[in-house]
Amino acid sequence: MSDSNVLEKFYKYVDENQDHYIQRLREAVAIPSVSCDASYRKDVFRMGDWLIGIFKKLGIDYNVEDVGTHELDGQTLELPNILLGSYGNDPNKKTILVYGHYDVQPALKEDGWNTDPWELVEDSQGRLFARGSTDDKGPIIGWLNVIEAYQKLGLEFPVNLKICFEGMEESGSEGLDDLIIREAKRYFKDVDCVTISDNYWLGTTKPCLTYGLRGVSYFKLVISGPGRDLHSGVFGGTVHEPMTDLAHLFSKLVRPDGHILIPGIYDDVVELDETERNTYKTISFKHQELHDAIDSDNSIHENELDTLMHRWRHPSLSLHGLEGAFSAPGAKTVIPAKVTGKFSIRTVPHMNPDQVTKLTTDYLEKEFAKLSSKNKMKVECIHAGKPWLSSTDHWNYVAAAKAVEKVFHVKPDLTREGGSIPVTLTFQEALGGKNVLLLPMGRGDDGAHSINEKLDRSNYINGVKLFGTYLQEIAHIKTE
């Protein structure tokens, strides 16, 4: 059968089975597989089991990798299983590794969701609301839907597929780096290239292929002093207050215009040249799309080019939160005895995580010393993932671009992203420089990590078509 016949049948099948696919996503999002909260750990395991159920149904060979334990909220917890799947092993076909994650960010209705975050709700515009819909359950199920469609249609699957689904991505992918390195010459031996669907279009209408991500170094800054919380009427003005020290140090990290104040932090950032600048000029992106995505117009930069560069190729520092501070409603006159500030730095080529930690720690220690405070300060980098860049002239990108053109009738933009997927670079390096591609399913306004996260029905369904078409293209692409 010719390729166009295969795809025609496949598209028809996918269109006819939309509701079945949505039902499958509905089941998946109903499992609150939150990886960063110990009380949901059983649900993360339940989610892994649910996926294994589909692997079995589809005849995917699989290994369930137990990668040990870790510490969270003062407890020792089993790390979620890493699922390795294998579908087909024809030596005449290429072998594609797809990676995705089945854990999600936390969500509470009270955060401002319009609907229950753990129940898929479709609105009149075909938006499928639920935590994990776009990040990353829709995409991982997308791959499984493709396998099922080919089976049901009795079509020959175009490639050998290797699958790696993990349940710890939102918490730094603990355990996965080691597994990839250990299995590089075994389970992942025959892999020709890697595809990850765990990002989003830049805007809401035009598909993209993504070839870069920022890294992230996450810090905890602990200030402690008094042995217990104190009454501010009795002790205010007479003791060094940890919150005051912390607020001061926070203000020394980053300016309100986004400029990072840590000396030397920009030293290793790759300089911008004309060739790179030109790549930004053709990208379809308007500030209006950014403003729509954030429900506000408070962007920092004057023009789109600067916005994209600050998102993709410059580092940034964000202040995330405070542990130990009074945060309930009302007016409690307390002096907290110990506070922990959390912040992270998004890193770019060629920043080095060890150097970032050293510069940050040395600087905070120096600034703290200037306060002559009798409190104690401790800085700790609790997780560091490196930035990643790929080469877009590889056949993997050529195949993906062709697939986009077939499904969406437009050439994709080539984008980078500001977010992080810690194992992207690990795959690239551990598999001996095999090409890695990011092939997004969702849109820029999907609200991953935010309230009312959604995936549009059309992105989900066209995403399944895109994944299948991409694998079909891979089968024929010239690889020299």
Contact criterion met (CB below 8 Å) for 211 and 293:
no
Contact criterion met (CB below 8 Å) for 101 and 433:
no
- Which residue stretch of 57-65, 77-85, 194-202, 231-239 sits at the interface with ligand BES (rule: CB under 6 A)? 194-202
Separation in Å, CA 350 to CA 19, 65, 215, 389, 453? 46, 33, 10, 10, 33
Please give the structure tokens belonging to residue 194.
């890697």
Q: Which is nearer to Mn ion, 135 or 183 (CB)?
A: 135
Binding mask 148-187 for Mn ion (x = CB under 5 A): ----------------------------------------
Which amino acid is located at 9 in the chain?
A: K
155 belongs to the binding site for ligand BES (CB under 6 A):
no
What span, in angstroms and rounded, lies between the C-alpha atoms of 85 and 93? 17
Exactly one of 43, 65, 136, 413 binds Mn ion (CB under 5 A); that residue is 136
Please give the structure tokens belonging to residue 75.
């407890």
DSSP per-residue codes, 189-233: TT--EEEE---B-SSSS--EEEEEE-EEEEEEEEEE-SSS-EEHH
| 69 annotated ligand binder | no
Exactly one of 33, 86, 160, 199 binds ligand BES (CB under 6 A); that residue is 199
Residue 303: helix, strand or coil by DSSP? coil
Binding positions for Mn ion, 376-395, rule CB under 5 A? none
Binding positions for ligand BES, 14-73, rule CB under 6 A? none
Exactly one of 304, 417, 456, 473 binds ligand BES (CB under 6 A); that residue is 417
Q: Which helix (H) or strand (E) holds 278?
A: helix 274-281
Exactly one of 32, 117, 341, 422 binds ligand BES (CB under 6 A); that residue is 422
Q: 445 is in the binding site of which of ligand BES, Mn ion, none (Cβ under 5 to 8 A by kind)?
A: none
Neighbours of 342 (CB within 10 A): 15
| 449 annotated ligand binder | yes
Residues, the chain, total? 480
421 belongs to the binding site for ligand BES (CB under 6 A):
yes
CB of 311 to ligand BES, least distance (A): 9
Q: Which helix (H) or strand (E) holds 58?
A: helix 41-58
The rounded radius of gyration (Å) of the Cα atoms in the chain is: 24
| 346 annotated ligand binder | yes
Question: Can you count the helices (H) and strands (E) in the chain?
Answer: 14, 20
What span, in angstroms and rounded, lies between the C-alpha atoms of 477 and 173? 32
Q: Which is nearer to ligand BES, 135 or 304 (CB)?
A: 135
| 198 annotated ligand binder | yes
Among 277, 279, 309, 304, residue whose Cα is nearest residue 290: 304
What span, in angstroms and rounded, lies between the C-alpha atoms of 161 and 95? 6
Q: 199 is in the binding site of which of ligand BES, Mn ion, none (Cβ under 5 to 8 A by kind)?
A: ligand BES
Among 371, 478, 416, 456, residue whose Cα is nearest residue 138: 456
| 394 annotated ligand binder | no
Which amino acid is located at 110 in the chain?
A: E
- Which residue stretch of 56-64, 121-129, 196-204, 351-359 sits at the interface with ligand BES (rule: CB under 6 A)? 196-204
Q: Which is nearer to ligand BES, 169 or 192 (CB)?
A: 169
Binding positions for Mn ion, 185-244, rule CB under 5 A? 198
Q: 419 is in the binding site of which of Mn ion, ligand BES, none (Cβ under 5 to 8 A by kind)?
A: ligand BES
Of the listed 65, 169, 289, 445, which one is catalytic? Answer: 169
Exactly one of 139, 167, 172, 212 binds ligand BES (CB under 6 A); that residue is 172
CB of 376 to Mn ion, least distance (A): 34
419 belongs to the binding site for ligand BES (CB under 6 A):
yes
Exactly one of 166, 170, 245, 446 binds ligand BES (CB under 6 A); that residue is 170
Q: In what order do the strands lie in the sheet with 454-456?
A: 121-122, 127-129, 454-456
Exactly one of 35, 420, 426, 459 binds ligand BES (CB under 6 A); that residue is 420
- Which residue stretch of 186-194, 301-309, 415-423, 425-433 sits at the interface with ligand BES (rule: CB under 6 A)? 415-423
Binding positions for ligand BES, 431-460, rule CB under 6 A? 448
Q: Is 103 a catalytic residue?
A: yes
Which amino acid is located at 79 in the chain?
A: L
- Which residue stretch of 26-34, 116-124, 131-139, 285-293 sits at the interface with Mn ion (rule: CB under 5 A)? 131-139
The residues facing 210 across adjacent strands are: 415, 438
Contacts for 222 with CB less than 8 Å, ≥ 6 apart: 338, 339, 340, 341, 376, 377, 378, 379, 380
103 belongs to the binding site for ligand BES (CB under 6 A):
no
289 belongs to the binding site for Mn ion (CB under 5 A):
no
Which residue sits closest to ligand BES, CB atoms considered? 419
| 135 annotated ligand binder | yes
What span, in angstroms and rounded, lies between the C-alpha atoms of 216 and 212? 13
CB of 301 to ligand BES, least distance (A): 18
Contact criterion met (CB below 8 Å) for 125 and 49:
no
Contacts to Mn ion by CB under 5 A: 135-136, 198
Residues that are catalytic: 103, 169
Contacts to ligand BES by CB under 6 A: 135-136, 169-170, 172, 198-200, 216, 385, 417, 419-422, 448
In the annotated binding site, the residues are: 101, 135, 170, 198, 231, 333, 346, 420, 449
In the annotated binding site for substrate, the residues are: 198, 231, 333, 346, 420, 449
